[in-house]
Structure 1
């Protein structure tokens, strides 16, 4: 099947692009990137050196995924999202000399399977975005996000839980329920877990 790469995309020779993946106009995929099967990299998106991307991911137009980010399977990265890699950025050292690669140590953003990052959100490394969570458009994430959490705002704060279908869960007595799939979850302190079907 192979991958489909636009002639105007800039893909490093040693980047690994999975079967069925698409890399669109003006996207840049740097050296050492591993992009899983059936992924979509939108127009003008940037994927930094050595970034690891699972299968079935969508990285939308003009998203910036800086190394050493790691994305699980089925991750959605919305338009113009930024995954940073420098917690205390400076162009120069304290003596005024221009910083080089040797003057800082990149820290990445880790995103779990099925998570979604809304348009123009910023995830400030180092943070972990839990599996199946949702970061609202425009949010600024400065601390870890639990699996299945919905976070909004600046700085991002949790406002609820979300199921695998992407819909906010609804409270039903002692459980949380997905209005689309009917799957039930139990809340335990700062996390939820799926209840086995009866």
Structure 2
């Protein structure tokens, strides 16, 4: 019986998972293992590796050379830049085999972007619409809409959903929102990061 796939698989790609969403594209020399969950309309670049027990949401872009290991969850509309690196074991040894429950989970929240060659140490969460600069090493949680750079990564600005910076030093009266000069979106600063004013009003 012929089964018509609802996603594109390059002839040189390997797709062992049965859970790949409609409209997703898997390019040459990429490998999606059995047990991986891939959402709809994702783009998985060449030489990428999506391990079992990992999860990609919808509309995720995985550029070339990215490995998404077991225990990593990437929510909808995220961008994983070329050769960015995830981990899932803080103290690995080749001769010590660990059960999956002993690995540390990493979560990349919806809309976040991770730059080329950045490293995400396991056990951390990248907040919604956060931006990790190229080459950064993330060792702690990143707040929603935070822009972090360097090794170890440190916050230098906020990032609007339109991908433009909002300076940490922006002058505003306490209790008044921060405003993106590019698109006009307004945010309230909270302990977990920036919250769009419209969303906060709905709550």
Contact 1:34 1:52 in 2 (8 A): yes
Tell whether 2:185 aligns with 1:183.
Answer: yes
Displacement of 1:180: 2.9
Question: Quick one: structure 1 residues 190 and 99, their matched pair in 2 at CA, closer, same or farther if it must change by over 3 Å?
Answer: closer
Q: Deviations over 1:113-164 (max 9, x none)?
A: 0000000000000100001000000000010001110111000011111111
> CA-atom RMSD, angstroms?
2.0
Tell whether 2:30 aligns with 1:31.
Answer: no
Instruction: Give matches, 1:33-52, under 5 Å.
Output: 33-52=36-55
- Between the two proteins, the alignment pairs up a number of residues equal to 191
Instruction: Give matches, 1:119-198, under 5 Å.
Output: 119-170=116-167, 171=170, 173-174=172-173, 175-189=177-191, 191-196=193-198
Tell whether 2:66 aligns with 1:68.
Answer: no
Q: Deviations over 1:32-66 (max 9, x none)?
A: 11111100000001111121110000010001111
Tell whether 2:13 aligns with 1:9.
Answer: yes
Displacement of 1:177: 1.9
Tell whether 2:119 aligns with 1:117.
Answer: no
Aligned-partner Cα distance in 2 for 1:19–1:50: 20
Aligned-partner Cα distance in 2 for 1:77–1:29: 16
From 67, 87, 101, the counterpart of 1:84? 87
Aligned-partner Cα distance in 1 for 2:98–2:183: 48
Aligned-partner Cα distance in 2 for 1:29–1:106: 20
Contact 1:17 1:37 in 2 (8 A): yes
Q: Which stretches of structure 1, 4 residues or more, deviate above 6 A after TM superposition?
A: none
Contact 2:144 2:192 in 1 (8 A): no
Contact 1:5 1:23 in 2 (8 A): yes
Aligned-partner Cα distance in 2 for 1:108–1:81: 17
Aligned-partner Cα distance in 1 for 2:124–2:10: 32
Q: What is the TM-score normalised by the length of structure 1?
A: 0.89
**Runs (5+) with no aligned partner, structure 1:** 92-97
Question: Quick one: structure 1 residues 64 and 103, their matched pair in 2 at CA, closer, same or farther if it must change by over 3 Å?
Answer: closer
